[in-house]
Amino acid sequence: MIPTVSATGPGHTERIAVFASGSGSNAERIIRHFAQHPTVQVTLLVCNKPEAGVRAKAAAAGIPELLIERGRFLSGDAYLPELKAAGISFLVLAGFLWKVPAALIEAYPRRIVNIHPALLPRFGGKGMWGAHVHQAVLEAGETESGITIHYVDEHYDHGDHIFQARCPVLPGDSPDTLAARVLALEHRHFAEVVERVVLGSEGVSG
């Protein structure tokens, strides 16, 4: 059951909905980061896969969930009524694999952020997720990779950059070994950058 909230006035709490499709390691860290925060809370998990591991992690933290289906999300009202009823003011994509529809982008202008496991604008776009990204980086002979945290617009991996962090690509790397190094950057930086953005003090490229 998703709680509903009334309109908030001065001193209100920013309520984050975390969107995730997978195991939820980033989502879990974001939930923990804001667990005791005075003005920012994660109050909803939005998930598109019934089997996703993130659901158990959110439940363990007492975070309500909204399990969504493709047709309504992409071609209907994008579950905007539920998000508004829950008082959601900011959306964080933490391994969410569906394209965000225009209805949400219009309702939350510059209040949706995503993390991508590469240094955009290279190695982004449709189909560039997970191991596909790291394989492309290796095949291109890159000497470094990293993460990009960015605002979400109507195109895949296209919105304005907020923060980047880099790591080396080492000789003999596989997609798995590179992924582990990139994931460590995600865990180190994502929640803190989200906090700065939500509170109005954006990060800068690192």
Q: Which residues are annotated as a binding site?
A: 24-26, 72, 114
Q: Residue type at 117? A: P
Is 116 a catalytic site residue?
yes
Q: Residue type at 107? A: A
Catalytic site residue from 116, 134, 150, 189: 116
Q: So which residues are the catalytic ones? A: 116
